[in-house]
Amino acid sequence: MQANARVLDVDANCAALDAAAKAAAAKGAAVLVTPELFPVGYAPLRLRAEFDPAGLPAIRETLAGIARRHGIGLVYSLPSVTEGGSWHITSTLVDAAGVELLSYAKVHLFGDNERAAFSPAGAGPAVVDFNGFRTSMVICYDVEFPETVRAAALGGAELLLVPTALAHGFETVPQVLLRARALESQLTIAYANHSGTEDGCEFLGGSVIAGPDGSLLATAGPGAELLYAEVEPDAARKARDVVPYLRERRPELYRSWGV
């Protein structure tokens, strides 16, 4: 799902997400990936100043209900607040019954506003079985670091789901870097961005789905749209058999290089 959110208008954003889930399910999609912080809009400083985290459980239940109602898996991204008061950017994968399968908190924060509003997390990406695929998640800037994606791949991931909020001017990220990440770790990456302008930030759009051989399975323009791709269950295995990057790594040597 590539779309323009309304900052702090949860009802409008959830309604847009609900319509997208309905349309995607009607097309036979198994999972809908949505942009970073879409239910609340991407505006880190305003979120920290104006958003009441007491409303998060109700938002999560609304989103789980959307998944249940339309019978589709869903990836959504929201703020979260720890017992110690730290704010994180998170993503969650629920299945078609609305059951939470996987959660992740963003490790690499981008820009002064994110760093002022949120704290970086420290846990690596976990991997779960989802509809026959070993599946993992990272968020936005995380995917630009090869170590993050490689950690998911070494954990067995074949499919990486990435909510993002990428501004205009960074076209090489979806057009070049995402395909390289998919190729070097030999997994499918679905990267869902915002479109339009939110709180003064002009988003690129340009969401992509890249295959484990680096091929471009689908790409979006600058505006709102739903992007579809069909992924073969053995796509990652086939790519890893052709060129065994993961098996032929030499981590003990890399450590001696200081990397």
Instruction: Return the active site residues.
Output: 36, 106, 140
CA distances to 78, 97, 211, 243 from 58, in Å? 12, 17, 35, 46
Burial 173-208 (b: 16+ CB within 10 A, else e): bbeebbbebbbbbbbbbbbbbbbbebeebebbbbbb
DSSP string, 200-254: TEEB----EEE-TTS-EEEE--SS-B-------TTHHHHHHHHS-TTTT--HHHH
Cβ neighbors of 78 (< 8 A, separation 6 or more) are: 37, 39, 40, 56, 59, 60, 90, 92
Q: Are 109 and 91 in contact (CB under 8 A)?
A: no
d(CA 172, CA 2): 18
- Which residue's structure tokens are 């979120």? 47
Q: Which of 105, 172, 100, 107 is nearest to 130 (CA)?
A: 100
